[in-house]
C-alpha cells in the first residue's frame, strides 16, 4: 500500500483545511473518512429535493481582508463558493415570549449599536463598552487576526473573563442583558462558565460580515477536497481507523476496520482527542493526561427539526431567529420534560431555485444526551443502517410536535405551509457527524480554568497531532484556525500565517 507524508483521520473542516495547507507546502496527504460523505459538520442532506445543512447555517468574516475571507482565498476556494450576504441591518433577530419587540443584530459595529439604540435609547454607553470590549478581546488573539507570534501572556488577562458576568456588569437592563447573549446557541453558552473570548471571537466575525451558503455548506468540503485530489493527495471514504500503531516512540501506521494498515511519516487526528487517545495504545501518553481530557465536559447536543415548505408558500428571510421564554437565554439547557423547549434557533436555507420563498427551515433546540441514551447502542449511518425502533420514532415525533407548537406562537399558521418535516437527535450528530455524545461544539470552555480546555495540537508522540474544533474554537472559522495551528506545529514554523494574511 502506498506510503504518505501525512495521514489525516477525519474529513471535517479541520482535516480538510490541514490537508490543503500541507499539500501546498509539498506534503503528500491522505485523508481517511469512515463515512460515505466527507465534511463532518459541512455535510448537507436532501429531503424532498430540499437541501439542509448539518452545521453551517451562516458564516462570518467573509468581507475582503477579514480572517475567513483570507483563509478561503489562500486555499483557493473563495471565488468558487456561492454566497449570499445577509441583511446589513439584521442578520439575527432575538425574540422573547411575551414581548412583541424583535431585537436585531446588524452588520458593522456602528450599525450594530445604532440598531440596538432604537430599543435601548438609554444604553448607549453600555453598548459602546460592550463593542469596545469585544474588539479588545479579539485583538489579543494573534492567529484570529492572522498575525504570527504572540504567546499566552498576550491574552492571559482576557481568558478569565466570564461572558455572563461581563454582560451583567455593563448594564442593569435585564432585557438588554438577554439580547446581548441572544445568539448563544452559536457556542452553547453557559452562565458562570463560558469565557468571554469564546463569545467575542464568534460574535465579532458575524458583526464584521454575515453570509449564507447558497444551496448548502457542503460546497466548502467539495472544493477543499477537490484541491487535495488535484494536488496529488488522496481521500478515502468508508475507511474507518480503529487503531493508531506506535513503534519506537512514534506513530508508524493506522490500522483500519478490515485489519489492513496504512503508513505515513506524520498523523493528524480530526477526531475528538479522547477518542484519538483511545485508539492509541502507548505508555508515552500518560494516564493522568488521558484522564484529564476524558474529564472535560462536552457541550450539549440538540434536537433538529427540518421543515420542507410547500412550493412558494412561506417567505424567505435573510436573517436568523433566536426565540426564548422570558429570562431563559442562559437557561435553555436546564429544561424538564414538562417545559421543553425553553428556546430555539431558526435558520432558513438560501436556495438558488427560490430567492423569494423559503424551501426549508431548520429549527435547533437543546437536547441532553441522556434523553436518547437508551438507544445509544444502535448506530445509524449512511453506510450502516440500524433501525432504532418504533419507540425512538415516536419519541422524535412527540418532540417535533411540541417544538412546532412552540414555533407556531411566533410564526402563526406555519403548519399550513409545511409539506413534510424530518428530525434528528444527538444520536444523529454522533453517527453522521462524528461528534462525541452528539455534542454541538465538542469540549466546553471554562473561564475558571481556561488553560485546561486549551488543547495543544501536539501529543507526546512527536509525529501525532490533533486538529479540529476541540483545540481552540469551533465552527467553520474555529476549525480552520485550529488547522493552521496544527500545520504550524507539524512544520515547526508559522510561515503559513503570513502567506494567508498576504493571499
Q: List % helix, strand, coil for the chain (3-state, nearest 5).
A: 40, 20, 40
Task: Dump pLDDT digits (tens) for 276-293.
Answer: 999 999 999 999 999 999
Residues in Cβ contact with 125 at an 8 Å cutoff, skipping those fewer than 6 apart: none
Q: Which secondary-structure segment (H or E) carries 94?
A: strand 92-96
pLDDT score recorded for residue 151: 65
**Percentage of residues in the chain with pLDDT exceeding 90?**
88
Please check the confidence at residue 480 and state whether its pLDDT lies above 80.
Answer: yes
> Of 363, 359, 364, 365, nearest to 308 (Cα)?
359
CA dist., res. 145 & res. 141, Å (int): 7
* pLDDT of 96 above 70: yes
Are the CB atoms for 320 and 461 separated by under 8 Å?
no
Whether 1 shows a pLDDT value over 70: the answer reads no
Question: Rounded to whole angstroms, how far apart are CA atoms 107 and 94?
Answer: 15
Quote the CA–CA distance of 324 and 345 in Å, as a whole number. Answer: 9
pLDDT over 70 (residue 439):
yes
3-class SS at 99? strand
Angle (CA) 383 384 387, round 5°:
135
Which pLDDT belongs to residue 180?
98
Query: What does the alpha-carbon distance between residue 73 and residue 455 come to, in Å, rounded to a whole number?
Result: 27
The answer to whether 244 touches 251, Cβ cutoff 8 Å, is yes
Contact (CB, 8 A) for 404 and 415: yes
With 80 as the cut, is the pLDDT of residue 137 above it? Answer: yes
**Sign for the pseudo-dihedral over CA of 128, 131, 137, 142:** negative
Phi, psi of 61 (to 5 degrees): 70, 35
Q: How many residues appear in the chain?
A: 503
Distance CA 477, CA 483 (A): 10
pLDDT over threshold 80, residue 372:
yes
pLDDT tens for residues 209-235? 999 999 999 999 999 999 999 999 999
Rg of the chain's alpha carbons, rounded to an integer? 22
Confidence (pLDDT) at 150: 67
Report whether pLDDT(91) > 60.
yes
- Name the residue among 67, 108, 104 with its Cα closest to residue 85: 108
Closest listed residue to residue 209, CA positions, set 54, 13, 72, 102? 72
Sheet harboring 83-85: ordered strands across?
59-60, 210-213, 83-85
pLDDT value, residue 452: 83
In a 3-state reduction of DSSP, which class is residue 81? coil
Nearest CA to 262 out of 11, 35, 29 is that of: 29
Q: How many CB atoms lie within 10 A of CB 146?
A: 21
The average confidence (pLDDT) of the chain is 94
Q: 3-state DSSP call for residue 164?
A: helix
> Does position 371 have pLDDT exceeding 80, yes or no?
yes
- Reduce the secondary structure of 418-439 to three states and give it as a string: EEEEEEECHHHHHHHHCCHHHC
In the prediction, which pLDDT does 156 show? Answer: 84
pLDDT confidence band for 437 (50 / 70 / 90): confident
What per-residue confidence (pLDDT) applies to 434? Answer: 73
Provide the pLDDT for residue 406.
Answer: 97
User: Which residue is associated with the grid cell 421543553?
Assistant: 340
d(CA 458, CA 434): 21
Predicted TM-score (pTM) of this structure: 0.95
- Closest Cα to residue 120, out of 94, 88, 98, 87? 94
CB 278 within 8 A of CB 287: no
Summarised one tens digit per residue, pLDDT across range 23-48 is: 999 999 999 999 889 998 999 989 99
Q: What percent of the chain has pLDDT over 70?
A: 98
The 10 Å CB-count burial string (b at 16+, else e) for 130-141 is bbebbeebbbbb
Q: Which region holds residue 365: left if phi is over 0, alpha if psi is between -120 and 50, else beta?
A: beta
Q: Are 69 and 145 in contact (CB under 8 A)?
A: no
User: CA angle, corner 459, sides to 455 and 460, nearest 5?
Assistant: 135
Question: Residue 211's pLDDT is what?
Answer: 98
State residue 383's pLDDT score.
61
Instruction: Name the CATH superfamily housing domain 4-46+54-61+215-296+442-501.
Output: FAD/NAD(P)-binding domain (3.50.50.60)
Helix 109-119 and helix 124-139, axial crossing angle in degrees, nearest 10 = 150
Residues 459-479 pLDDT 10s: 999 999 999 988 888 899 999
pLDDT of residue 487: 97
3-class secondary structure, 224: helix
Q: How far apart are CA 312 and CA 316, in angstroms?
A: 9
Q: How far apart are CA 395 and CA 337, in angstroms?
A: 12
Give the 3-state secondary structure of residue 38.
coil
Amino acid at each position: 500500500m502506498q506510503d504518505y507524508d501525512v495521514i489525516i483521520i477525519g474529513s471535517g473542516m479541520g482535516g480538510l483545511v490541514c490537508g490543503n495547507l500541507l499539500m501546498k507546502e509539498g506534503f503528500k496527504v491522505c485523508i481517511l473518512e469512515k463515512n460515505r460523505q466527507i465534511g463532518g459538520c459541512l455535510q448537507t442532506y436532501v429531503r424532498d429535493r430540499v437541501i439542509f445543512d448539518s452545521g453551517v447555517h451562516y458564516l462570518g468574516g467573509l468581507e475582503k481582508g477579514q480572517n475567513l475571507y483570507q483563509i478561503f482565498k489562500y486555499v483557493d476556494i473563495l471565488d468558487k463558493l456561492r454566497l449570499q450576504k445577509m441583511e446589513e441591518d439584521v442578520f439575527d433577530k432575538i425574540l422573547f415570549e411575551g414581548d412583541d419587540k424583535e431585537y436585531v443584530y446588524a452588520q458593522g459595529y456602528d450599525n450594530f449599536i445604532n440598531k440596538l439604540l432604537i430599543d435601548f435609547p438609554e444604553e448607549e454607553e453600555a453598548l459602546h463598552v460592550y463593542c469596545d470590549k469585544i474588539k479588545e478581546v479579539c485583538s489579543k488573539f494573534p492567529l484570529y487576526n492572522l498575525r504570527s507570534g504572540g504567546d499566552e501572556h498576550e491574552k492571559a488577562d482576557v481568558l478569565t473573563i466570564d461572558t455572563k458576568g461581563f454582560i451583567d456588569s455593563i448594564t442593569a437592563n435585564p432585557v438588554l442583558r438577554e439580547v446581548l447573549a441572544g445568539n448563544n446557541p452559536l457556542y452553547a453558552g453557559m452562565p458562570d462558565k463560558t469565557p468571554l473570548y469564546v463569545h467575542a471571537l464568534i460574535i465579532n466575525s458575524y458583526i464584521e460580515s454575515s453570509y449564507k451558503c447558497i444551496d448548502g455548506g457542503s460546497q466548502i468540503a467539495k472544493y477543499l477536497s477537490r484541491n487535495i485530489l488535484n494536488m496529488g493527495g488522496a481521500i478515502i471514504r468508508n475507511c474507518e481507523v480503529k487503531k493508531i500503531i506506535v513503534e519506537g516512540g512514534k506513530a508508524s501506521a493506522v490500522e483500519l476496520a478490515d485489519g489492513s494498515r496504512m503508513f505515513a511519516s506524520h498523523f493528524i487526528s480530526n477526531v475528538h482527542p479522547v477518542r484519538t487517545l483511545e485508539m492509541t495504545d502507548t505508555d508515552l501518553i500518560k494516564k493522568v493526561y488521558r484522564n484529564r481530557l476524558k474529564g472535560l465536559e462536552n457541550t450539549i447536543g440538540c434536537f433538529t427539526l427540518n421543515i420542507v415548505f410547500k412550493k412558494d408558500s412561506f417567505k424567505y428571510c435573510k436573517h436568523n431567529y433566536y426565540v426564548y421564554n422570558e429570562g431563559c437565554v442562559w437557561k435553555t439547557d436546564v429544561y424538564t420534560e414538562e417545559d421543553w423547549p425553553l428556546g430555539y434557533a431558526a435558520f432558513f436555507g438560501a436556495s438558488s431555485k427560490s430567492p423569494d420563498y423559503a424551501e426549508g427551515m431548520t429549527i435547533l433546540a437543546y437536547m441532553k444526551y441522556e434523553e436518547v441514551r437508551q438507544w445509544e447502542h444502535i448506530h445509524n449511518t449512511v453506510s450502516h443502517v440500524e433501525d432504532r425502533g418504533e419507540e425512538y420514532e415516536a419519541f422524535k415525533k412527540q418532540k417535533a410536535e411540541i417544538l412546532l407548537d412552540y414555533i407556531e406562537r411566533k410564526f402563526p399558521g406555519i403548519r399550513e405551509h409545511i409539506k413534510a418535516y424530518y428530525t434528528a437527535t444527538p444520536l444523529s450528530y454522533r453517527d453522521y457527524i462524528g461528534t462525541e455524545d452528539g455534542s454541538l461544539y465538542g469540549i466546553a470552555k471554562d473561564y475558571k480554568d481556561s488553560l485546561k480546555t486549551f488543547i495543544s495540537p501536539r501529543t507526546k508522540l512527536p509525529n501525532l497531532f490533533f486538529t479540529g474544533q476541540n483545540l481552540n474554537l469551533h465552527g467553520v472559522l474555529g476549525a480552520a484556525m485550529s488547522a493552521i495551528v496544527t500545520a504550524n506545529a507539524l512544520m515547526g514554523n508559522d510561515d503559513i500565517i503570513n502567506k494567508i494574511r498576504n493571499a
